[in-house]
Amino acid sequence: MRLIKVLSGQTVFDIALQELGSAVGVLDIALLNGISITETLTPGQTLNVPDYVLEKNVVADFKKNGIRPATADSDSEIYTQKLFQAGLFQAGLFE
């Protein structure tokens, strides 16, 4: 298990994508932390995440491009533009 810090606008799904490379792990994160998958997270809050990674290429691309998903942020359009600029959609990672 690893401990991560939540950023502004992040959801449990964002954390799963960022740390595990797939939203498939969202339930595991919720269960580890005793929260709902739709829980509203607070910036600075810490969450336990599993040690496994489902999609290493997604996690690597996020790190390489400095992208931290935050889809609950009011600037989600900017976030989506960053994904396109990083080539993640073109690489077929989010189709």
Report the alpha-carbon distance of residue 73 to residue 95 in Å, rounded: 22
DSSP annotation of 40 reads P
- 20-39 per-position pLDDT tens digit: 999 999 999 999 999 999 99
Residue 38 has a pLDDT of 92
Question: Residue 95 pLDDT more than 50?
Answer: no
User: In the chain, where do the E strands start and end?
Assistant: 2-5, 46-49
Torsion (CA) 4, 7, 13, 17 in degrees, nearest 10? -70
User: pTM of the full predicted structure?
Assistant: 0.77
Residue 92 has a pLDDT of 52
Strand, helix or coil at 41?
Answer: coil
Asked whether 29 and 53 are in contact (CB, 8 A), the reply is no
